[in-house]
Chains A and B, each alone.
Chain A
């Protein structure tokens, strides 16, 4: 579904990605783990068209998308939930969801997807008319995910959905991620919380200082000595 080869990305003079390669197959949950400043967000932003690579290749559904703009990719089902949620704070929950379906014209499909979102996140349904900025952190994460689902994603890019949430809520969010995946959405998940990320993903990549430092299926990564020491607390 998504192949990335030898990706190099710069912020001005700063060389942030130094040859990242990875692959996501249809139906998978793949996770990208790594410490602060490793280049995880940079990788996602480059895939979703918010950044342009200097070198390398990104292929999505057989098409090279190196220079595609974010809004073009959304229409093709490649949708990102940005780090830090970015809900439209002054707008209601419903207006946020409506904007998630912005590029779509199929009214019935949108209505169906909204039903699905409300099934996955009943709390959003209760709070439809609440201003998004007044939602709790967990609810905002739910809204950010629900809003992305309104766009009808084929490949969903999640950037640190666990950020700043209590452990109980993290588990709830991650069980919903599994649910979303079961409805046929492929997921590329960026996380610092390697424990829980590896528990829902089939495969994972460890990124450090702009390079893929290790890759493998989740169980082998979770039992790997180095990964355990660095990211799983021993």
Chain B
């Protein structure tokens, strides 16, 4: 009992700290006091949050092991960039078209591959991610390996933040709905879910393409942030990086994905001082975290704004239950 109360208190303080950090970051940003280097990193944090949360919807919540997230990101990036360059559409519209293209591809790829389970699905999605990249590499309109330049750099940190918040709210609301319970039941036991009258094919494809949609958005934001994209931005390792964020944060925990995206985006930058040992340290930290917290930083727990309010209600000492 004492233990759970302590945990709740810890969650409450962590939520509070997270809230304060967020507010402070935005105050500094709005005041125009954030050096461009740092706000650039924050943009990547936001993009990675979108990627990690949307992959968590597929891998963590629905239990479908996908390794092709970078492929969907690439589709969103290229389609939205091409729309911006050739049609001159406003950013929001270009992002939306890119995300829709990724989602559509998610449906097309999901229908046949989501019959596969576990390792087999992982390998199939890995292959598909690579196919997308090779197609982009060989098309004329994408300019192949040279990369696509002169994309209008219209993304800003606030838009990234907004999309990240929308992604999180969408996923949290979905998880708490009847549909979310259907997704969780598929992760738990697909045979039982099907026997309970849940259309498992529909829900798996839905989760897959919704995840692809947000990955596409992230790709679009990335393209319009960099101004230049190339197939090498969307290699297999990119999918692995996102997967690491999801696993490190805790499969199925949205909070975990957000925290891990934050930490893992900032860490390599923070470790720059260690020069060539940087990636060794980074990897060592990953191993250490997985050893000490095998189910990820957050497990399946979530931080909730309401929990932070309990600190003020009861002075942080007692808990209602």
Contacts and interface: CB of A to CB of B under 8 A. Distances in A.
A75 B181 CA distance: 18
Nearest to A75: B197
B191 A82 contact: yes
Residue with the highest number of chain B CB atoms closer than 10 Å, among A88, A98, A147: A88
Contacts of B237: none
A206 interface: no
A100 B196 contact: yes
Given A88-B185, A102-B178, A74 B197 contact: yes
A144 B199 CA distance: 19
Interface residues of B, number: 17
Interface string A83-98: 0001111110001001
B198 A102 contact: yes
A12 to B, nearest CB: 14
A151 B189 CA distance: 17
B20 to A, nearest CB: 33
B195 A70 contact: yes
A128 interface: no
Contact of B195 (A75, A86, A91, A98): A86
A147 B189 CA distance: 14
B188 A151 contact: no
Interface string A124-156: 000000000000000000000001100100000
Interface string B190-214: 0111111111100000000000000
Contact of B196 (A50, A90, A147): A147
A71 B199 CA distance: 6
Contacts of B192: 82, 86-88
B182 interface: yes
A86 B178 contact: no
Interface in A159-203: none
Interface in A49-86: 50, 69-71, 74-75, 79-82, 86
A118 to B, nearest CB: 19
B195 A103 contact: no
Given A95-B181, A98-B181, A88 B188 contact: yes
B1 to A, nearest CB: 15
Contact of A74 (B178, B184, B196): B196
Contacts of A74: 195-197
B188 A90 contact: yes
A71 B197 contact: yes
Nearest to A104: B197
Contacts of B196: 74, 99-100, 102-103, 147, 151
B181 to A, nearest CB: 6
B198 A86 contact: no
Contacts of B184: 91
A48 interface: yes
B178 to A, nearest CB: 7
Contact of A102 (B182, B188, B189, B191): B182
A81 B192 CA distance: 8
Contacts of B178: 102
Interface in B124-177: none
A217 to B, nearest CB: 30
A109 B193 CA distance: 21
Contacts of B188: 88-91
A79 B195 contact: yes
Given A48-B195, A88-B189, A95-B181, 13 more contacts: A50-B195, A74-B195, A79-B197, A82-B195, A86-B189, A98-B181, A99-B181, A99-B196, A99-B198, A102-B178, A102-B185, A102-B197, A151-B196
Interface of A: 48, 50, 69-71, 74-75, 79-82, 86-91, 95, 98-100, 102-103, 147-148, 151
Interface of B: 178, 181-182, 184-185, 188-189, 191-200
Closest 4 CB pairs of A and B: A74-B197, A86-B192, A103-B197, A88-B188
26 contacts: A70-B197, A71-B194, A71-B200, A80-B195, A81-B195, A82-B191, A82-B192, A86-B191, A86-B192, A86-B195, A88-B192, A90-B188, A91-B184, A91-B185, A95-B181, A98-B181, A99-B181, A99-B185, A99-B193, A99-B196, A102-B178, A102-B181, A102-B196, A102-B197, A103-B197, A103-B198
